[in-house]
Amino acid sequence: MPAYKLTYFDVRGLAEMSRYVFAEAGVQYEDVRIKSDDWPKLKPSTPFGKMPYLSVDGKEVAHSRAIVRFLGREFRLDGGDSLTAARLDVWIEQLFETYSSMPWTEEDEDQKAKLLATWEKETLAPKLEKLGGNKCGWRSFFPWQGCFHFGFCHFANLRIYERKVEP
Ligand SMILES: N[C@@H](CCC(=O)N[C@@H](CS)C(=O)NCC(=O)O)C(=O)O
């Protein structure tokens, strides 16, 4: 088994879905959490000046969704064949597109609740309906094994939103 080292800030953020995949696969890895104060010094030595990145026996993989797909393939949580894996990727991309329009930065709690209610009704519900219903949707195929990979991305995003940046 290679030595895996996942480097990110000390929050859930973009690394959390990969942490879930490691946990589900029961694979040991080094969960390196960088303090904000230490980041400027580390940044120039990282693959693209951003985190997370994963080191696999010293070779680096950057970009959170590239990392989670790699781990899905490594631990056979990607549906088992390339078409199923691609269709899971479609779900993941659709979910990320959906989540990116959530009211992430709204500070006022009342306003946030209002925006979130509108987002659920006008953005989330139609997107989920399309995810389920069309020819890419889960009603047209349902790979139990691959759903772990998909489910982690979904779950990680919801948890991150609820708790914002807590570790
Ligand atoms: N597309 C990248 C985005 C990475 C990214 O924006 N990371 C942020 C933290 S969530 C970061 O490293 N910010 C620090 C900086 O840009 O200096 C991914 O999915 O991993």
Decide: 22 and 29 in contact? Cβ < 8 Å.
yes
43 & 87 share domain:
no
Strands 4-9 and 30-34: parallel
Whether 91 and 62 share a structural domain: no
Instruction: Indicate whether 91 and 157 sit together in one domain.
Output: yes
Q: What's the pLDDT tens digit per position in 50-96?
A: 999 999 999 999 999 899 889 988 988 877 788 878 877 777 787 77
The pLDDT, as a whole number, for residue 144 is 46
| CA 65 to centroid of ligand 1, rounded, Å | 12
Is 167 within the bounds of a domain?
no
Residues 110 and 155 in one domain: yes
Cβ(143)–Cβ(8) below 8 Å: no
User: Mutation test of ligand 1: which of 50, 100, 104, 105 has the most ligand atoms closer than 8 Å to its C-beta?
Assistant: 50
> Where a domain ends, among 30, 55, 74?
74
pLDDT band at 165 (very low <50, low <70, confident <90, very high): very low
Closest ligand 1 atom, residue 52 Cα: 20
